[in-house]
Structure 1
């Protein structure tokens, strides 16, 4: 019984340490290199009918934030910089 609880504690510590050094981090702010932005934005904008503006703003946002949310829509909470950058009118700047 005691051995099992030590095992759980050890696994818990490994997971916490891995997250803190980014081993298990699947992305997030600053996780991309500048040269990775075009391919990330190509995928992000792949399902929209407004390809040119989507790619322009996505690449602009990625250049600043070094992050593009996963998927083709939503998930902006993964990249706070990307999510919080607003237009002059207060709308979202990044697709």
Structure 2
């Protein structure tokens, strides 16, 4: 298992477009990937599910933990963390 925490920097948070981009990128990996809102650990979703991500309700300034388990877990976490860190092209 590999995980990393990162803060969402884009002004509108993980709304539909960035959430879809995150989901599409997550689907490229074989690992099981979850995304968790650090301030509310019960809000955890499947990173490969758009509904799973959107249901968490992530806004600017929220800290998330990306957790992956499987063959390419490290690459998955680092790639997705870099995507979040880029602000999805909105910053």
Normalised to the residue count of structure 1, the TM-score between the two structures is 0.30
Higher strand share: 2
Higher helix share: 1
Rg comparison, structure with higher value: 1
